[in-house]
Amino acid sequence: MAPIQSAEQTVLAIRPEGLPAFWPADNPWLHALVFIVASIAFALVMVIVFIYVERRGVARFQLRLGPNRAGPEGVLQAVADLIKLLLKEDIVPRLADKVVHLLAPIVATVPAFMVFAVVPLWGDGAMLADLNAGVLYFIAISSFGVVGVFMAGWASSNKYSLISAMRGVAQMVSYEIPLVMALLGVVVFAGTLSLNGIVDAQSIPFALLQPLAAVIYFLAMSAEINRTPFDLLEAESEIIAGYHTEYSGMKFALFYVAEYGHAVAGAAIFATFFLGGWKGPVLPPVLWLVIKMLVVFFVGFWARATLPRLRVDQVMGLGWKALLPLAVINVLIAAVEVLFWPSGTTQWLLVPINIAIGALLVFLWSRTVSLRGGRVEVRTRAEVKA
């Protein structure tokens, strides 16, 4: 019989076996303090790394040099940008809803960093809270991001901001469903909702066992965090900068950090769910996680540098007509395999089977489902009556 714990220890779900012996695992407040500081520091450093890697990487794709002046090879460019934004004048439109205008960047930024509470960053069990409902926690927190976008779009009292906010809500609400369904396939295989348990269950990375789920999750994640080709919220050619058109100075910097913070969180979640998280030989666990996150992020900005932006109806069609049914079928297949396939070493055989099923389904969908849809026919009143 386990000893009765305090509510704090139950909520944080500290697992002392993953931590060094000197660790104060029986003092949840000290544990929480250390890991909150460490997680946020990790996330912020990764934001700077991602900004640098993306700016230089996209520049290479476009045959430019990219920022290379501040510091050696331009690594201090993000710092220089931040200082510039800090010193800029903060302009609030006269007709704006001042309070909401001020709160929106904060509401947009905080959830991106709250995700890291449940991601095993430093090794087995070395995380802020090994929540048993960790997957649900991640989904719930990421649904907060919509609120920040909507607050910004509404408070700016600018029609482009408002259009962007409406697009954002439509896009994020639609893509949340396939995202959750894709993660469900992984959860069925892992048999747990704890992110640490999901990493533990990956003797074979789930990207191989669940290739279709990995693809669906990657696309839905790109749409959730508004990466190109899904960046309709800030489509410069149509609606200026979208919901943060009316933001300047530090508030704009917060939106910038929020965007890359969501990208970091999405990459960390993808690495944890599909690529085995911190697992890997020789190198320390956190380094493996960083490498996998950078690989995921590279694929993301590779798509950004290569693909043009989708139209609104195409984005909606992809989400509802392609990703959602495929994700549901994937969950069904995963459930059948877990029920009837003998667990053990024969799991390797599922890898080619699932890759074949995934490829077949994607091929079938690409042949049958048209993403165009949403055609608007304008009819006069007389035509309607006739």
Partner 1 sequence: MAFDFVFWVLAVIAVASALLVVLLRNIFRAALAMILCFTVIAGLYVTLGADFLAVVQVLIYVGAISILIILAIMLTRDVWQAGRASVVGPVAAIAFFLFGGALVIGLSRSRWPAYTPPNLPPGEGTSASLGFEIFSRSGFVLPLLISAAMLLAAVIGALFLIRDE
CB of 220 to partner 1, least distance (A): 15
CA distances, 227 to each of 14, 233, 262 (Å): 34, 10, 10
- C-beta of 144 vs 298, nearer to partner 1: 144
- C-beta of 97 vs 313, nearer to partner 1: 97
| Integer Cα distance of 209 and 202 in angstroms | 9
Of the candidate residues 34, 80, 82, 139, the single one contacting partner 1 (CB under 8 A): 139
Can residue 9 be called a binding residue for partner 1 (CB under 8 A)?
A: yes
CA distances, 102 to each of 124, 260, 307 (Å): 39, 20, 34
Of the candidate residues 15, 88, 309, 311, the single one contacting partner 1 (CB under 8 A): 15
Of the candidate residues 37, 41, 91, 173, the single one contacting partner 1 (CB under 8 A): 173
In sequence order, the 6+-apart residues with CB closer than 8 A to the CB of 371 are 313, 314, 317, 318, 321, 322
Torsion of CA 175, 180, 185, 187, to 10 degrees: 160
Host H or E run for residue 365: helix 350-368
Task: Assess contact for 278 and 120: CB atoms under 8 A.
Answer: yes
- Judged by CB under 8 A, the stretch of 139-147, 219-227, 250-258, 360-368 that binds partner 1 is 139-147
- Judged by CB under 8 A, the stretch of 138-146, 327-335, 344-352, 365-373 that binds partner 1 is 138-146
24-63 positions binding partner 1, by CB under 8 A:
29
Of the candidate residues 30, 79, 91, 140, the single one contacting partner 1 (CB under 8 A): 140
Each as own residue / partner, the long-range contacts of residues 288-296 (CB below 8 Å, 24 or more positions apart, any chain) are 289/121, 290/46, 292/267, 293/46, 293/264, 293/267, 293/268, 294/49, 294/53, 294/267, 295/271, 296/218, 296/266, 296/267, 296/270, 296/271
CB of 136 to partner 1, least distance (A): 4
328-367 positions binding partner 1, by CB under 8 A:
none
Closest among 119, 368, 366 to 266, alpha carbons compared: 119
CB of 174 to partner 1, least distance (A): 12
CB of 373 to partner 1, least distance (A): 15
Of the candidate residues 10, 203, 306, 366, the single one contacting partner 1 (CB under 8 A): 10
Closest among 79, 70, 9, 25 to 49, alpha carbons compared: 79
- Judged by CB under 8 A, the stretch of 162-170, 277-285, 288-296, 318-326 that binds partner 1 is 162-170
Can residue 176 be called a binding residue for partner 1 (CB under 8 A)?
A: yes
- Helix (H/G/I), strand (E/B), else coil: 237: helix
- C-beta of 146 vs 275, nearer to partner 1: 146
Can residue 130 be called a binding residue for partner 1 (CB under 8 A)?
A: yes
Can residue 321 be called a binding residue for partner 1 (CB under 8 A)?
A: no
- Judged by CB under 8 A, the stretch of 35-43, 70-78, 141-149, 295-303 that binds partner 1 is 141-149
CB of 320 to partner 1, least distance (A): 14
Tokens read off for 278: 């911190």
- C-beta of 70 vs 170, nearer to partner 1: 170
Can residue 92 be called a binding residue for partner 1 (CB under 8 A)?
A: no
Of the candidate residues 86, 91, 99, 283, the single one contacting partner 1 (CB under 8 A): 99
| Integer Cα distance of 78 and 84 in angstroms | 10
How open is the CA angle 37-140-335, to the nearest 5 degrees?
Answer: 115
Question: Residues, the chain, total?
Answer: 386
- Judged by CB under 8 A, the stretch of 92-100, 226-234, 257-265, 292-300 that binds partner 1 is 92-100
Q: Write out the residues near partner 1 by the rule CB under 8 A.
A: 1-2, 4-11, 13-15, 29, 97, 99-100, 130-133, 136-137, 139-141, 143-144, 146-147, 150-151, 154, 162, 166, 169, 173, 176, 193-194
